[in-house]
Chain A
């Protein structure tokens, strides 16, 4: 409320000044009422963003939802508006767990949940640990901070291709260490096909994701007042107690946003599995976005693919809403 008042008075004041300054030029122009001028400017400023978001996100999403109700196969791809309506058929196919397509989707969903749980959990843990350990100044701190950000800065494809090389069965580093040097396995294992592939995927995803958590937590730590630590030190609190009693509680709001963002990115991740495994992921690491891509672009069934995407979006919406509801409950008092 206060903001409106200041905005209005400020604009009026400036108008008076400008009209006094170049009054001659001013009088010849048709007078635009102040209310409309200040009312229109914010919309004008938002226009480019709104138009682009509409063109690239909102309209395609609406079309995607419409497509999920049509029988859209490769025959209709040049004239997708002419594809016959199929009602909820695509959805029925997607959720029918007794048929191959639905069963595969459920499996992929399950794999993605397990993957996301471990990938987000470990990335968050590493990020928080790194940020807290670098909170105090010591020699080499700036250097370590730079090193920790390298995985974040490396382009995904370059980094993940390197991991793919490291996970090669015969000439990779991982098997060289595990088999040749440590003798932990009887024979070199496959990492990019078969049952182990989920581990490879989690390792790469954590490697790629924790520096972002580190970055966000590090920024969050700078907002904790130094006086809290000083006061608690006078009261006799040790480092460990300070971390438990001051740092972690103060990080709670940051952590809540961070975990949600990590969850959404990880659950939707396409780049990592695509570069690591190629177009078809091993069954054990068949993440949902790769699975839908496969269902749409490889088997050319865009209607079913769209239905799967919409189901995925609904799931993410539900989880996000639930998460926001749970996490905002504790904050209501401070937010107002």
Chain B
């Protein structure tokens, strides 16, 4: 079908504008990370006056970036794995069984999305401190506490999306598995989970990004050794002299893995959203 010129031109204008808007900070990040300090401290220039990769070496010494990186990786990775497993179980129960309290469960879980994080930040902080004082389990300041918190952040959306995804998988498939002698969990792991891989990948991507990008709880719930990138990156910016080239280099270093991973898996995300959340 031939589209009219008016449409083609509108499309060109809109897409060019949006692409430029989306990529502008990426350009600034890359170009500024390659500039010497006096260049980023003075007037902005589109083209760097002299190229240097020195900021990429300096970022590891100015703040303990490697440690923050490991912390973020451990926290986001664990939160993702746990969140996905728990969401798969819950979504399977809701999608395949009829039981009392099902509606209450789905509505309650979804409505936690609405809570302002600030409302439970302080109580959660106090609970963690109290649990630590009475049982010796260190949640406050530990990676464990942050993992626990983050996995619940992505849980509601993950459960919601997986319910939709599981619903779109014909029930005949797991019923056949049950007839063939699988238990309900066997049917889940051998039939439903393999059929729902795009949905599960989508949920995992979402969970990882939620944990990797969270700032508020990370800044209250961590200490010097457990600090994540979200807090650590501000180390370059709060000093008297802001090393903008290092800030940009560090930003790029922490962004590349997640952007690359996301772009590789984005097809799954759209497929998962199509079957799950958007119906």
Among candidates B98, B124, B181, B216, residue contacting A270 with C-beta atoms closer than 8 Å: B216
> What residues of chain B lie closer than 8 Å to A254, measured between beta carbons?
278
Contact B97 A60, beta carbon cutoff 8 Å:
no
- Whether A207 pairs with B22 at a CB distance below 8 angstroms is yes
Is A50 within 8 A of B105, CB to CB? yes
What does the 1/0 interface line of B78-117 toward A look like (CB < 8 Å)? 0000000011011011101111001001001100111111
Looking at chain A's contact residues, is the secondary structure mostly helix, strand, loop, or mixed? Answer: helix
**Per-position contact with B for A305-336: 1 when CB-CB < 8 Å, else 0?**
11001101100110010000000000000000
Q: Among the interface residues A6, A38, A45, A50, which one has the most CB atoms of the partner chain B within 10 A?
A: A45
B51 within 8 A of A: no
What's the Cα separation between A176 and B43 when bound, in Å?
7
Cross-interface CB contact of A42 among B42, B93, B230, B269, cutoff 8 Å:
B93
The answer to whether the Cβ of A99 comes within 8 Å of any Cβ in the partner chain is: no
Q: From known contacts A64-B122, A162-B248, infer whether A17 and B181 are also in contact, taking CB-CB under 8 Å.
A: yes
CB of A316 within 8 A of CB of B98, answer: no
Q: A168: shortest Cβ distance to chain B, in Å?
A: 8
Q: Determine if A270 and B114 form an interchain contact, defined as CB atoms under 8 angstroms apart.
A: no
Option from B41, B119, B209 in Cβ contact (under 8 Å) with A61 = B119
The residue on A at minimum CB distance from B233 is A157
Q: Are A10 and B229 in contact (CB under 8 A)?
A: no
- Residues of chain A from 56 to 73 with CB closer than 8 A to chain B in the complex: 56-61, 63-64, 67
Identify the A interface with B (CB < 8 A).
Answer: 3-4, 6-7, 10-11, 13-14, 17-18, 21, 38-39, 41-43, 45-46, 48-50, 52-53, 55-61, 63-64, 67, 77, 80, 126, 129-130, 133-134, 136, 144-159, 161-166, 170-173, 175-176, 180, 207, 210-211, 215-216, 218-220, 222-223, 233, 238-240, 254, 257, 261, 264, 268, 270-271, 274-275, 278, 288-289, 292-293, 296-297, 302, 305-306, 309-310, 312-313, 316-317, 320
Q: Count of chain B residues with Cβ under 8 Å from any Cβ of A?
A: 106
The 8 closest A-B pairs by CB, nearest first: A60-B120, A60-B123, A219-B273, A153-B262, A309-B119, A158-B251, A45-B93, A63-B123
Name the CB-closest residue of B to A148: B22
Docked Cα-Cα span, A306 to B125, in Å, equals 13
With A56-B124, A240-B6: A158-B171 Cβ-Cβ less than 8 Å = no
How far does the Cβ of B258 sit from chain A's closest Cβ, in whole Å? 6
